[in-house]
């Protein structure tokens, strides 16, 4: 990040905080084996992201915070139900229903009450039950972890903002295949759509949600 770029964003007024709301949900985006196992062409080493996400999951369970874990799943070998996206990224066809690549990473600390949401586009909101469910639960804040920062995480955060939710991204609990798109998209998300915060701060927020403790002030 150059100083010139920072100055340009600050001049545009893109340095505000949305802050934490009172009723969060944790969204864990696409930490399925197709993305966390490097033997899949879509995969990369996301061990640290999984570990940091587990800290968020433990805190959410402690704070009685709703948890939604998403997966990309196609029902067709040619991924026709993914539309043009499947044509743009043909390796998405490996994420076929019933295949091991759609399974959530076994290292995740998933609870039996957590909701697993299957999707066919980048955003967890696109033509899924997510918005209706979050509204029914009275959620006002989405904490978005998972992968990839430049793809499905970003798309989900943009849509969370568009749907009127506070969007919080725990910085160490999202990952990508390469450093440059990861860092660029964290910078842009933080400027335009949500708050990128340290994972420890977000853990404290989630753990205290049920007790009604105050959200961290941040900076």
The residues annotated as belonging to the active site are 152
C-beta separation of 194 from 161 below 8 A: yes
**Phi, psi at residue 127, to the nearest 5°?**
55, 40
Kindly state the tokens that stand for 214. 């105050």
Kindly state the tokens that stand for 179. 């450093």
C-beta separation of 156 from 124 below 8 A: yes
Kindly state the tokens that stand for 32. 């399925």
C-beta separation of 144 from 153 below 8 A: yes
For residues 28 and 39, give the distance between their C-alpha atoms in angstroms, rounded to a whole number: 22
HSE-CB at 63 with a 13 A cutoff on CA atoms is 28
């Amino acid at each position: 990040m150059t100083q010139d770029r920072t100055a340009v964003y600050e001049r545009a007024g893109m340095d505000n905080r949305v802050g934490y709301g009172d009723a969060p949900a944790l969204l864990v985006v696409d930490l399925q084996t197709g993305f966390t196992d490097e033997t899949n062409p879509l995969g990369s080493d996301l061990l640290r992201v999984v570990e940091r996400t587990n800290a968020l999951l433990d805190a959410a369970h402690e704070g009685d915070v709703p948890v939604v874990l998403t997966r990309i799943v196609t029902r067709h070998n040619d991924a026709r139900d993914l539309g043009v996206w499947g044509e743009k990224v043909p390796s998405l066809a490996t994420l076929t229903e019933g295949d091991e690549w759609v399974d959530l990473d076994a290292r995740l600390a998933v609870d039996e009450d957590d909701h697993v949401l299957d999707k066919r586009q980048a955003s967890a909101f696109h033509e899924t039950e997510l918005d209706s469910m979050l509204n029914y639960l009275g959620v006002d804040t989405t904490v978005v972890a998972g992968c990839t920062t430049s793809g499905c995480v970003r798309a989900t955060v943009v849509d969370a903002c568009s749907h009127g939710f506070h969007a919080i991204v725990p910085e160490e609990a999202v990952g990508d295949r390469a450093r440059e798109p990861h860092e660029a998209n964290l910078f842009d998300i933080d400027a335009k759509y949500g708050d990128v915060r340290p994972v420890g701060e977000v853990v404290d927020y989630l753990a205290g949600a049920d007790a009604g403790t105050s959200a961290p002030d941040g900076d």
